[in-house]
Amino acid sequence: MATVELHIANEMLDSFEAIRPNLNGHETGRRPSPTAMGITILDMEMAGAPDQAKTMEVVLQLIDGQPKISGIHYWDEHGIFLAPALPFRRAVN
């Protein structure tokens, strides 16, 4: 489990509460962004996040007027995208 930063526009914080229960993690802190006005940084302890993850992005779809999580993307401290780890299929002989 890694603690990663989730950057959210202040006007979206209330909407974030609607999807929070669907995340596999929990918030451990929040603070205003030191570099971007109107942005809040949430520290999220996420189960399943890669150990080297520094930031995350929640990808949403609007289905029947409700936001649904369709994926979570992670980046390392250098801003490099961390592709999800996929198991190799075993060949059956």
Q: What is the pLDDT of residue 76?
A: 97
Q: What is the pLDDT of residue 26?
A: 93
Q: What is the pLDDT of residue 91?
A: 64
Nearest-5° angle of CA 50, CA 55, CA 56? Answer: 80
Q: Are 44 and 50 in contact (CB under 8 A)?
A: no
Q: What is the pLDDT of residue 85?
A: 67
Q: Are 43 and 27 in contact (CB under 8 A)?
A: yes
Per-residue pLDDT of the chain (93 residues; tens, 9 = 90+): 899 999 999 999 988 888 999 999 999 999 999 999 999 999 999 998 999 999 999 998 888 988 889 999 999 999 999 987 666 666 666
Among residues 39, 34, 30, 43, which one has the least CA distance to residue 8? Answer: 39
- The whole-angstrom separation of Cα 21 and Cα 17 is 8
